[in-house]
């Protein structure tokens, strides 16, 4: 049997996509809209400040197109924390004007294809830079005021191309080329790779952040030419949006 790579997990992740019922919003009396904005802002502020758990981070984004209007992303140490965050939203009066369009559950992950040193002995005196890099992957920050793209993906298990049948070294080589492509976007793209094996419909959730949305298009396109994507990548739906501060919720809904 081919060898599975070692992995290490960090925070659990919930991508909570909401559509807004714009007709109901327009028709609602002013005081109801004010209450919904007030409770929505309070919810988002408290969750961005992570008042509900020991650690983690949250962020809200406006989403373009018909698939959703809002995306709230939560990173928390446990699935229970995520569940609480999701239910607390339902208790706000803002939730009366939204539906959960879709959602995605995953856990941040680093795998031992490339950072093998880290996995050989976790207590070993590994390079401080590498340790910080790995911690940043497992417990990521969400950059302010940036565009976001989210999509789920899997590695193919086809008759001709089956990722899971390949020997470890071949997979590691392809992941190394993937890493080289990725590093060409250093400073432009920040990515969070979170495993959803056993949790959701695809194998990973990919969340990309960029100041310039063209960089998102460029990296995804470039990676399509890497074997790891061209032969073995299978993709779900794509979502694109932009982060906004909780205080701007009213402007988003009324503007």
User: What residues are labeled active site?
Assistant: 151
Complex with ligand 76R: residue 26 or 183, whichever CB lies closer: 183
SS3 per residue for 109-123? EEECCCCHHHHHCCC
d(CA 97, CA 72): 15
Pick the closer one to ligand 76R by CB: 182 or 245.
182
Which listed residue (220, 231, 236, 248) binds ligand 76R by CB under 6 A?
220
**Cβ contact 50:58 at 8 Å:** yes
> Which range, of 18-26, 72-80, 81-89, 175-183, touches ligand 76R by CB under 6 A?
175-183
By CB under 6 A, tell whether 223 contacts ligand 76R.
yes
Tell me the C-alpha distance between 102 and 66, whole Å: 12
Tell me the longest C-alpha to C-alpha distance in the chain: 63
User: What span, in angstroms and rounded, lies between the C-alpha atoms of 20 and 27?
Assistant: 13
Give the number of other Cβ atoms within 10 Å of residue 80's Cβ: 11
Which residues inside 111-150 make contact with ligand 76R, applying CB under 6 A?
111, 113-115
Size of the site for ligand 76R (CB under 6 A): 23
Stretch in the footprint of ligand 76R (CB under 6 A) among 51-59, 88-96, 107-115, 242-250: 107-115
Near ligand 76R by CB under 6 A: residue from 208, 240, 249, 253? 208
215 and 185 Cβ atoms separated by less than 8 Å = yes
**Could you tell me which residues come within 8 angstroms of residue 23 by beta carbon, excluding any fewer than 6 positions away?**
none
Binding window for ligand 76R (CB under 6 A); candidates: 23-31, 90-98, 172-180, 238-246: 172-180
Quick check: 202 binds ligand 76R (CB under 6 A)? no
Smallest separation (angstroms) from ligand 76R to the CB of 123: 20
Q: Which of 153, 218, 248, 252 binds ligand 76R (CB under 6 A)?
A: 153
């Amino acid at each position: 049997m081919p060898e599975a790579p070692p992995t290490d997990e960090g925070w659990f992740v919930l991508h909570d996509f909401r559509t807004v019922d714009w007709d109901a919003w327009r028709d609602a009396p002013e005081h109801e809209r004010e209450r919904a904005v007030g409770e929505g802002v309070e919810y988002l502020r408290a969750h961005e400040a992570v008042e509900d758990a020991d650690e983690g981070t949250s962020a809200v984004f406006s989403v373009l197109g018909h698939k959703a209007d809002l995306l709230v992303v939560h990173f928390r140490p446990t699935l229970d924390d995520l569940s609480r965050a999701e239910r607390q939203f339902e208790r706000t009066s803002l939730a009366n004007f939204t539906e959960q369009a879709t959602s995605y559950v995953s856990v941040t992950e680093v795998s031992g294809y490339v950072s093998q040193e880290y996995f050989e002995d976790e207590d070993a005196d590994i390079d401080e830079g590498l340790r910080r890099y790995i911690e940043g992957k497992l417990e990521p920050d969400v950059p302010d005021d940036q565009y976001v793209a989210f999509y789920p993906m899997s590695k193919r298990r086809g008759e001709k191309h089956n990722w899971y049948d390949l020997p470890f070294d071949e997979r590691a080589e392809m992941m190394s080329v993937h890493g080289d492509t990725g590093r060409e976007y250093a400073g432009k793209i920040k990515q969070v790779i979170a495993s959803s094996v056993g949790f959701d419909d695809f194998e990973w959730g990919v969340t990309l952040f960029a100041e310039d949305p063209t960089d998102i298009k460029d990296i995804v396109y470039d990676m399509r030419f890497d074997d790891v994507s061209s032969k073995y990548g299978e993709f779900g739906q794509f979502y694109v949006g932009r982060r906004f501060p909780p205080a701007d919720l009213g402007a988003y809904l009324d503007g």
